[in-house]
Structure 1
């Protein structure tokens, strides 16, 4: 019976499997019992990927592939034989680049196109691409005060003018994905999360968690009390699976929890962790972005309350010692 059940499982690929979001997605896919998972990583033998091989059922249903998104043949090898692909891998600049076209933009766009071409060749049924609200909100023509919807796109020249290279890379990669879908008929859905936080599975701290910790660490006594758009990594993984499994899913989807002020984040955390050092003073600021996630919620997506996400996150960060 076990052999029969194994044969019925669908094989899917997750690119960049060792990363923050991708790791949670791999865990979710394995936990359903419905999928055999292929994960692309730079080095399957690297100890940084031990959290993946330690997952329940990983020995039976997870296989790691050495792949570079800029090397088409390595991507094609991982994708061959898969019914679905989740393209999560994307370069995130760690600092200012002297050559953003080569360091940030080309890898994002070329990497995405390599994945999509491999998917088309392998006759993959659906590809879910992780984009970002970075491809949504950098739009000076969007009506001020109106919640962003899937209709808004970050404006290319505006990104270039402000040297927002990461925003530009996500925007161009997502545009190219939909252009490729229109040209070839490949079924592509994109998910655009806001700032992704939550418990870490991997041993290294990712960029979005570093940004979040910058909001709440008491390195500065006074901080701006603006609204922040956060989303739990586990909820984004849920959104990716929904977008893959729901036959009605199409186009792009914004993925974010309700906006929350920095002071409210601190107050929630103080309840569980009163002895930590937090900002003491808050300067009120107006404005801030909001995102209309109705389209995703119509698929059945729900988001955890921050009263759950924030303590879960902090417990993990304290355990790893990354607050220092």
Structure 2
């Protein structure tokens, strides 16, 4: 049974959200769209925020989801605009804050990444503080807020939820995206603790799997690059986690009363050669371009403990299934 049919069974079996209203910020995003889909299947009423409700690329795939007609309402909101999220969050039982720019190449990191991530998070949490109805906030962070440290992680290191990226190291290495996620998550914990907000953070790694949105997102673009013979991070090792597992982890973080703190969700370490081999096996007709510069590849490897997220009831999709479903989705959307 594939993952999608598992989720369709969820529709009949688990209606935990009946009568509950939740908000998803940045609802048109890759992970957020799957969170919205699963919430609707579980019977929640969803209030989603998007930057531009008149842009079909941000809204059409959401409005086409099962249950959207009855249970999804979209609101305009801007991360940098104070009080922008108040209307969407008012009356909600819980909030999933996923909205944050994802890019690794920027010309102005402060404007393009840090301000939207940091100020946006505080704007959303402020709205949660002012809404008496909100019982829990789930913040989408990233392993980018976990892994950038000095000295760098090595093969004997076991990464868990106690690991935080070091902002100074991020700045010195010009790792602007990890810096934005680290500053935003640190600020979120400080604000939540100072204002009595029950907050949980989910820290996914590179996320792949089928796309609901019509445009290519950053993490799935890594697979497109590999298909095209590129090694985007010049790395020998990659880890990928399935978007459906990441979305479910967010929802389990809401539905499990004892859920607390951070939850790292990431896949096993695979070499770039192993990933290419799986892709060749799955899609023999796809012409996988050869890569150059293998001898120069970054060797960084480490272990990741994912027991905490497994204890929420999240079962991991095998990488082979994720890669297959990713490529099929890319083909269907004419993105490769």
| TM-score > 0.5, shorter chain as reference | yes
1:224-303 correspondence to structure 2 within 5 Å: 226-280=236-290, 283=294, 286-303=299-316
Equivalent position of 1:69 in the other structure: 79
Unaligned runs of 5+ in 2: 1-14
Question: How far off its partner does 1:131 sit?
Answer: 0.4
Aligned with residue 93 of structure 1, among 81, 100, 103: 103
Question: How far off its partner does 1:102 sit?
Answer: 2.4
Aligned with residue 111 of structure 1, among 120, 124, 128: 120
Aligned with residue 13 of structure 1, among 17, 20, 23: 23
Checking the alignment, whether the CA contact within 8 Å between 2:147 and 2:153 is kept in structure 1 is: no
Checking the alignment, whether the CA contact within 8 Å between 2:153 and 2:301 is kept in structure 1 is: no
1:1-324 correspondence to structure 2 within 5 Å: 9-33=19-43, 35-48=44-57, 49-93=59-103, 95-97=105-107, 99-123=108-132, 124-141=134-151, 144-145=154-155, 146-218=157-229, 226-280=236-290, 283=294, 286-323=299-336
Unaligned runs of 5+ in 1: none
Distance 1:170 1:224 in 2: 22
Distance 1:8 1:309 in 2: 30
Checking the alignment, whether the CA contact within 8 Å between 2:85 and 2:127 is kept in structure 1 is: yes
Distance change (3 Å), C-alpha of 1:165 and 1:225: closer
Distance 1:217 1:290 in 2: 28
TM-score (norm 1): 0.91
Question: How far off its partner does 1:141 sit?
Answer: 4.0
How large is the Cα RMSD of the aligned pairs?
2.0
Q: SS of 1:157's equivalent?
A: helix
Partner deviation per Cα, 1:182-230 (whole Å, 9 max, x = no partner): 111100000010001111111111111112322332358xx96722111
Q: Count matched residues.
A: 314
Question: How far off its partner does 1:70 sit?
Answer: 1.6
Question: How far off its partner does 1:155 sit?
Answer: 0.6
